[in-house]
Amino acid sequence: MSGFFLRVTPIELGIGVGAHGFDKDRLAAYRSGVIDPKAGAALVGATSAVEAAGWSLLGEKYKKTPRGFTPAIEQYVRDVKIDSLYEGTTGIQALDLFFRKIARDQGQTLSRLAADLLTFVKGGPDELAAERELLGEALEDVQAQIGVMGAHALASAEDPPQIYKTGLHANALLESLAELVIGWLLARHAAVALERLADGEDAAFHEGEDVPFYKGKDAAFYEGKVASARFFCRNVLPKARLRREAAQAEDGAVMALSDDAF
């Protein structure tokens, strides 16, 4: 059974539609339609269009997930819409990082973070010497990119278009800084793991390798921590150098294009 109702008050116009008492076939078709990639996307598009027109979509939520649904399906549907709003077309998170989190206090907070990271780079375990070196290089690249972007921002006081050179590389800076911190945390985890491995009663070394191992029940876990740190530092952190060089070479030419060129 389906139906609708209309409610009109001095401050509100409400329209309610719904269905009650699905038969087995109709319920199965409904559930299949919601989770189907094409039909589900169309449903999200339709509800988004309604909300964009100024309407609010309200309704009761299930007290428990119906059979046939993934418990998180409702969250997935919401995320399809919400995630598109976090960044939008303006790169707001990246711009916020540079102009509010870094520039607003003249980089003091970032400097404290860099000091903590540099302490590990200089004083971490010898077994992670290569990884510590890569962390140090990535830190230099990030700081250099921030310096270049900051110089463009200051120059925009006299030459406003210079600010474009900062904005064009804000997302790249967000990526490099995030990867730098992740690499640092992974390396710290690896340092702890090396200590645990070395503390094992059967601690030993594979021929030609500098990572101790033992046959304890957590050995694989600790070895995985070390391996993940090595992989990340060697394969991800070097990308910061490319982003730094791109920021240094930026001439702002793309912003000089006419609107018609787009």
Active site (catalytic) residues:
87
124 near 214, Cβ under 8 Å? no
141: helix, coil or strand? helix
Residue 174 makes CB contacts below 8 A (sequence gap 6+) with: 93, 94, 97
Task: Provide the angle, in degrees to the nearest 10, between the axes of the packed helices 108-123 and 129-155.
Answer: 160
Which of 173, 19, 163, 208 has its CA nearest to residue 98? 173
Q: 163 is written with which tokens?
A: 């600010």
170 near 94, Cβ under 8 Å? yes
Q: CA-based Rg of the chain, rounded to a whole angstrom?
A: 27
Pairing of strands 212-213, 2-9: unpaired
Alpha-carbon 75 to chain mean position: 18
CA–CA distance, 45 with 93 (Å, rounded to integer): 25
